[in-house]
Chain A
Amino acid sequence: MEAWFALLVSIFFTVAVYLLLSKSIIRVLLGVAILGNAVNLLIFTGGRLTRGVPPVVPGHQDALTGPAANALPQALILTAIVISFSFFAFLLVLAWRAYEVLQTDNTDEMRVAEPKDEPAPPLGY
């Protein structure tokens, strides 16, 4: 099962990178959303996949008897989901503001902070 998940994660990463390389901010945003999910799936897979085996130590024992999924990566993902969600929300608003203010969502035309033909510094005085 891990192998299939690894394949799925790699597809997620491929799509995310493809979208991130786009010039249009809205596609980049979609790329960011998929990238966040790709990472979450990656960590999830890294913590072992078992079905229907709760990692609970029975009362009369000191350790787990069989293999079970590690619960810690799932806790890490929970943190990562919250963070990536809030970042996505911020970037969504920022992209909208950028579209409103700069009248474009093409990154090639976003040259306000770095104007295209700025004069060279003075050569003498």
Chain B
Amino acid sequence: MAASTSPHADLSAALVLEPAASADWLVILPVAWCLAIGALLVMLRRKIDWHPYIAVLGLAGLVLIDILLLRHVLASGPVTMVMGRWLPPFGIAFTVDLTGALFALTASVVALAGGIYSLADINDSGRRYGFYPFLMLLMAGVSGAFLTGDIFNLYVWFEVLLISSFGLIVLGSEREQIDGAVKYGFLNLVATTLFLITTGYLYASFGTLNMADIARKAEGLAGTAPLMTLTALFVLAFGMKAAAFPVNFWLPASYHTPRVVVSALFAGLLTKVGIYALIRVTVMLLPLQREELSFVIALAGALTMLVGAFGALAQSDFRRMLGYLVVSGIGSILAGIAVGGPGGIGGAIFYALHSMLVMTALYFASGVAAKLGGSFSLSSLAGLYRRHAGFAALTLMLAFAVSGLPPFSGFWPKVMLVKAALDIGAWWLAAALLFTGFLTTVVTGRFFLLAYWRDAAAGEGTTVSATISPAALLPLTVLVILALAIGLYPEPLLSTIQSAAASLAEPSAYLNSVFPGGAP
């Protein structure tokens, strides 16, 4: 082959020569869009009055792009686009399958809700400090993590979202925040460094970073490469990002300290990115090792659920209680990953999507409750039902949803998870799931009783504002309606999730999309 010396080298062996179909550009558009809007906002740093509107329009555009992307993936299967036209596994590939598209869409809905809520929560100094550019860059990181098909690229997106989250968590610089940010910052940095260590080992054993290539080669390398070590390290790193017991303590130490909208976005987005990465790596890339580790993951899941639920029971601060409920939800998702199979993985994905919507909405509710009642503390919040019955109804629906009671979005994933656990004979895991549901009901019931039904005279709460700003009520209402709609009519989402879980376990369509001609 003298082709390499001739000026007319055969480029088709290394490069994608035909131009990408215009629909395929949707794969990269969410990231590019967020980065562009973020850059625009930085350029307009003197026009802070424009920031919220540009950001909300930008996030609405992101939701639209993600809807189109999901439709495209539903219609034509996983879509791949490579950077710089280099053929995979050498070019960095963005590959979107149903799981990635579903997560990206839910994340963009949550972010849009946060963007609208921020109109009521972020004042001029927050805008001047750069809340909106940070928000857009955070979304670039989150979208990139959901859409990428390259494991080192996933690490880079983790860092992008982490550095943006640092900017958001210290916004305001109060004493509490600095304290929370120290713990959040150090422990998350250690978690992403663990991820980088694992990526280094992975490259040394596989010689590739492309996820499809890894999935293809994993079985052949099972005898020679230290795949169990890799999987265990991945579980630890992503478990730490997702706040799984026993590496969960950074979350309840920090999530109640920043602005309400920042807490809400973190609760909806960040831990779920960890969960998504865990599902992607353990279910698609290293499935055999996941089976061997399943008992460890199940145990961690059960303990995470219980620690979260008992922790929530012991809190007298609304937002700290919510932090523990986030942790408890992560436990349920881990249980699904441990059980595996279409029911377990489907349940885990469903629970993650439900948790993104509902936890964000609950944090919004905590912010509204504090505006109405003047405090986050359960000992002084009182009489919210009398003050605003509609808001009380919204919160009650969220309480039902987070406890996994019908007819809300938390019910179906819980049913799937319990059934999947019973099907493989893990009765203790099913019992832990149900007991956690019961404890969560107690937690939310008590807090509703104290903060909403108790007469205001009994508490010391003072009314700070008698009305709720529409910018706060609108996103809360929309998220509650979504949770109710998913609970009442789960069929379309359920069937999409089931095919997403099936294509994770049997990723031939994913592989075909990355390597259309079979093995290179």
Interface residues of A (CB under 8 A from B): 20, 25, 28, 32, 35-36, 39, 42-43, 46-47, 57, 59-62, 72-73, 76, 79-80, 83-84, 86-87, 90-91, 94-95, 97-98, 101-102, 107, 110-114, 118-122, 125
B91 to chain A, nearest CB (A): 12
Chain B 162-192, CB-CB to A under 8 Å as 1, else 0, gives 1100100010010111111111011001100
Task: Name the one of A36, A57, A80, A94 contacting B185, with C-beta atoms under 8 angstroms.
Answer: A94
Q: Is the CB of B173 within 8 A of A97?
A: yes
In the assembly, what is the distance between CA of A45 and CA of B229, in Å? 18
Q: What is the CB-to-nearest-CB distance from A79 to chain B, in angstroms, rounded to a whole number?
A: 7
Chain B, residue nearest A25 (CB): B182
Question: Out of A46, A87, A121, which one reaches B446, CB within 8 Å?
Answer: A121
Cβ of B221 to closest chain A Cβ, rounded Å: 15
Shortest beta-carbon distance from B435 to chain A in Å: 20
| Nearest Cβ on chain B to A84's Cβ, whole angstroms | 8
Q: B449: which A residues are within 8 A, CB to CB?
A: 125
Q: Per a CB cutoff under 8 Å, which of A39, A61, A110 touches B193?
A: A39
Which residues of the other chain, A, contact B180 by a CB distance below 8 angstroms?
A: 113
B443 to chain A, nearest CB (A): 10
> Considering residues A43, A72, A83, A86, which has the most beta carbons from chain B within 10 angstroms of its beta carbon?
A83
B257 contact from A57, A84, A94, A113, Cβ within 8 A: A113
Provide the bound-state CA to CA distance between A101 and B252, in Å.
21
Does B364 belong to the interface (CB within 8 Å)?
Answer: no
Q: Which residues of chain B have a CB within 8 Å of any CB of chain A?
A: 1, 4-5, 152, 156, 159, 162-163, 166, 170, 173, 175-183, 185-186, 189-190, 193, 196-197, 199-201, 203-204, 252-254, 256-257, 314-317, 320, 378-379, 446, 449-450, 454, 458
Report Cα–Cα, A32/B317, bound state, in Å: 32
In the complex, the answer to whether B182 meets A98 with C-beta atoms within 8 Å is: yes
B179 touches A112 (CB 8 A): yes
Contact for A98 among B179, B256, B378, B454, CB less than 8 A:
B179
Q: Which residue from chain B places its CB closest to the CB of A44 in the assembled complex?
A: B200
Residues on the B chain within 8 Å of A119, using CB: 316, 379
Residues in B with CB closer than 8 Å to A25 are: 182
Considering only CB atoms, which chain A residue lies closest to B443 in the complex? A121
What are the residues of chain B within 8 A of A43 when measuring CB–CB? Answer: 196, 200, 203-204
What residues on A are CB-neighbors of B1 within 8 Å? 62
Does the CB pair A36–B193 fall under 8 Å?
Answer: yes
Chain B residues with CB below 8 A from A101, complex form: 173, 175, 178
Query: Judging by beta carbons under 8 Å apart, are A80 and B4 in contact?
Result: no
Contacting residues, chain B, for A90 (C-beta < 8 A): 163, 166, 185
Known contacts A25-B182, A39-B197, A94-B181; A79/B156 CB under 8 A: yes
Smallest CB-CB A-B distances: 3 pairs: A46-B204, A121-B316, A43-B200
Label chain B's interface by main secondary structure: helix
Query: Which of B196, B204, B257 has the most CB atoms of chain A within a 10 A radius of its CB?
Result: B196
- Which residues in B have their C-beta under 8 angstroms from that of A42? 197, 200-201
From the candidates B156, B173, B175, B196, name the one contacting A39 in the complex (CB within 8 A).
Answer: B196
A102 touches B175 (CB 8 A): yes
Whether A102 lies near B178 (C-beta < 8 A) is yes
Please give, as numbers and ranges, the residues of chain A lying within 8 Å of B203 by CB-CB distance. Answer: 43, 46-47, 72-73, 76
**B193 near A120: Cβ-Cβ < 8 Å:** no
Which residues does chain B contribute within 8 Å of A57, judged by CB atoms?
4
Collect the chain B residues with CB atoms within 8 Å of residue A94's CB.
166, 170, 178, 181-182, 185
Q: Known: A28-B186, A46-B203, A113-B179. Is A59-B5 also a contact (CB below 8 A)?
A: yes
Would you give 25 A-B contacts (Cβ < 8 Å), ordered by A?
Answer: A25-B182, A35-B190, A39-B197, A43-B196, A43-B203, A57-B4, A59-B5, A61-B4, A76-B152, A83-B156, A83-B159, A84-B193, A87-B189, A90-B163, A91-B185, A94-B170, A94-B185, A102-B179, A107-B182, A112-B175, A113-B183, A120-B316, A121-B316, A122-B379, A122-B450
Provide the bound-state CA to CA distance between A60 and B5, in Å: 6
Query: Chain B's nearest CB lies how many Å from the CB of A31?
Result: 9
Other A-B contacts than A57-B4, A73-B200, A102-B175, 18 sampled, CB-CB below 8 A, are A35-B193, A42-B197, A42-B201, A62-B4, A83-B159, A87-B189, A90-B163, A94-B166, A94-B178, A97-B173, A98-B182, A112-B175, A113-B254, A114-B252, A114-B320, A119-B379, A121-B379, A122-B316
How far, in angstroms, from A35 to B315 measured CA to CA in the complex?
35
Q: How far is the CA of A114 from the CA of B152 in the complex (A)?
A: 35
| Bound Cα distance from A95 to B379, whole angstroms | 33
The one of B4, B176, B200, B314 that contacts A113, using a Cβ cutoff of 8 Å:
B176
State whether A121 touches B378 (Cβ < 8 A).
yes
Cα–Cα, bound, A44→B173 (Å):
38
Docked Cα-Cα span, A125 to B152, in Å, equals: 54
